[in-house]
Structure 1
Amino acid sequence: MPECVAVITEHALLPVVPGREGEFEAAMQRAAPLVAASPGFVRLSVTRGVESPSTYLLVVEWERLEDHTEGFRRSAAYEDWRALLHEFYDPFPVVEHFAPVLDVRA
């Protein structure tokens, strides 16, 4: 059985200005490789709200909290990420980090 690797999960609900969803999705396509190239990056997913289609869920998995908070957030890549995406949010999203407690899969 493969060893379970503990990761830190970054979670943010992204409230996109209504009517700009298509622009946001295109910008996210350009921005995703910036975070994916960061040391400690594991996985990124973006999903769109069914009941609230202007709200997106960003989930990024990191090897360590510091890979996000000190590595990516202090990098030139983050400045490019910010330039591509931050204009779409209203209000600005809250970003939180989570550590694993339980993971049940089929």
Structure 2
Amino acid sequence: MILEVAILNVKQEMNDSFVATFKQASSIIASMKGYIRHELQRCLEREGQYVLLVWWETLEDHVEGFRQSDGYQEWKRQLHHYYDPFPVVEHYENIPL
């Protein structure tokens, strides 16, 4: 299982509509092969900053399956104009302790 982490900095003037749009767009990512679940969390210290956490079965499910899909084009259309700067997306794997 892979965890995708993205820090999302939403433009101040668009902050109010971002969450509603994100909720609508969530059905896109949830329909993808290898998708397990996702969370969007709001930062308490920085207005307009969120962290997106998405669990995938494999790295390829995200970087090849989702990002090369028609669904991703719709995800981009709905959400990418909210971000400044554009988010850095990183992937993590669990270390059993």
Give the shorter-chain TM-score range.
over 0.9
Match of 1:15 in 2: 9
How many angstroms apart in 2 are the aligned matches of 1:102 and 1:49?
27
Report matched runs for 1:15-54 at 5 Å: 15-54=9-48
What letter is aligned with 2:66? F
For residues 13-45 of structure 1, the C-alpha deviation after alignment (integer angstroms, 9 at most, x for no partner) is: 000001311211111011101000000000100
Cα displacement (A) at 1:102: 3.9
Match of 2:83 in 1: 89
SS at match of 2:12: coil
Structure 1 alignment gaps of length 5 or more? 1-6
What letter is aligned with 2:20? A
For residues 36-67 of structure 1, the C-alpha deviation after alignment (integer angstroms, 9 at most, x for no partner) is: 00000001000101001210000000000000
What letter is aligned with 1:73? R
For residues 43-93 of structure 1, the C-alpha deviation after alignment (integer angstroms, 9 at most, x for no partner) is: 100010100121000000000000000000000000000000000000000
Identity of aligned residues (%): 41
What number of residue pairs does the alignment pair up? 97
Instruction: Detail structure 1 runs of 4+ shifted over 6 Å in the superposition.
Output: none
Determine which structure has the larger helix proportion and give its number: 2
For structure 1, which segment, 48-57 or 18-27, has the greater mean C-alpha deviation from structure 2 after superposition? Answer: 18-27
TM-score, normalised on structure 1?
0.88
